[in-house]
């Protein structure tokens, strides 16, 4: 009797485990559980051995944009400006100057929210509303998303992918929003610079002061400053 009872319990336990596994699978395919897959990881560094990009995130510092555009134009380089929707709404003419100079435009959300602290719906609104505004103003359909403050979670990655975006982080951070020291910004940008680097910066007075030297140092290292989309793949 005891052996028969043990057998019955084992069968019931196995059945219960199978039911749990089946339930988890069902949740996954119905979307109840949302998680980023292995191919949905954010990009921290590109694979192009000959190019680097200057990721210029714009929510403020409008007064320095013209000067930065002048430096980039004088050095005959193009890069990527990740723009906030709120900033584009309030600074349309300056935004159009960036576009007119041929720089790549990326999405930086609308209200500069930490995307790991907001709902899936708000993630979608932040990205899509910026996309729609930029498209309406310039005709550009962006495909690169840089989360404000580098804050994201699996939901953010999944929503970005759903909306046709690749999530972009950085390999070098100038921390120019905090440290108003052009020499420090320069050193952080170019120390051990190598192909594929994504160098994060913002429009600040100190960044503008360092920008020409940064571009020249990158060139002296045998590298080219290019838009992020050109830095991602290998040649």
Question: What pLDDT shows up at residue 40?
Answer: 81
- Do 99 and 178 belong to one domain? yes
| Residues 89 and 26 occupy one common structural domain | no
**pLDDT of 134:** 98
Say if 169 falls within a structural domain. Answer: yes
Give yes or no: residues 118 and 65 share one domain: yes
* DSSP line for 136-189: HHH-----EE--GGG---HHHHHHHHHTT-EEB--SEE--TTT---HHHHHHHH
Q: Residue 175 is part of a domain; what is its CATH number?
A: 3.20.20.370
Q: What is the pLDDT of residue 15?
A: 37
Residue 39 within a domain? no
Domain count, the chain: 2
pLDDT computed for residue 234 by the predictor: 67
Regions of the chain where pLDDT drops below 70 = 1-39, 234-235
Closest CA to 196 of 164, 167, 229: 229
φ/ψ of 110, rounded to 5, equals: -95, -50
Whole-number pLDDT of residue 235: 55
pLDDT at position 39 is 66
Is the same domain home to 177 and 102? yes
Identify whether 119 is part of a domain. yes
pLDDT of residue 89: 98
Range of the domain at 188: 44-231
pLDDT value at residue 26: 34
Tell whether 56 and 139 lie within a shared domain.
yes
């Amino acid at each position: 009797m005891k052996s028969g009872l043990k057998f019955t319990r084992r069968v019931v336990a196995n059945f219960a485990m199978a039911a749990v596994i089946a339930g988890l699978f069902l949740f996954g395919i119905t979307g109840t559980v949302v998680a980023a897959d292995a191919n949905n990881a954010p990009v921290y560094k590109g694979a192009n051995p000959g190019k680097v990009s200057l990721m210029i995130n714009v929510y403020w510092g409008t007064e320095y944009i013209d000067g930065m555009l002048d430096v980039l134009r004088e050095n005959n380089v193009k890069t990527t400006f990740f723009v906030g929707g709120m900033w584009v709404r309030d600074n349309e003419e300056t935004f159009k100057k960036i576009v007119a100079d041929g720089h790549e435009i990326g999405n930086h959300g609308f209200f500069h929210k930490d995307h790991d602290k907001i709902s899936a719906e708000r993630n979608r609104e932040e990205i899509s509303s910026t996309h729609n505004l930029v498209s309406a103003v310039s005709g550009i359909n962006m495909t690169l998303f840089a989360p404000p403050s580098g804050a994201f979670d699996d939901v953010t990655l999944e929503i970005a992918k759903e909306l046709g975006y690749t999530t972009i982080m950085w390999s070098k951070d100038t921390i120019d929003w905090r440290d108003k020291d052009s020499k420090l910004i320069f050193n952080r940008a170019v120390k051990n610079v190598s192909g594929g680097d994504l160098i994060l910066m913002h429009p600040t007075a100190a960044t503008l002061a360092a920008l020409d030297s940064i571009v020249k140092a990158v060139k002296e290292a045998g590298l080219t400053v290019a838009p992020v989309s050109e830095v991602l793949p290998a040649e």
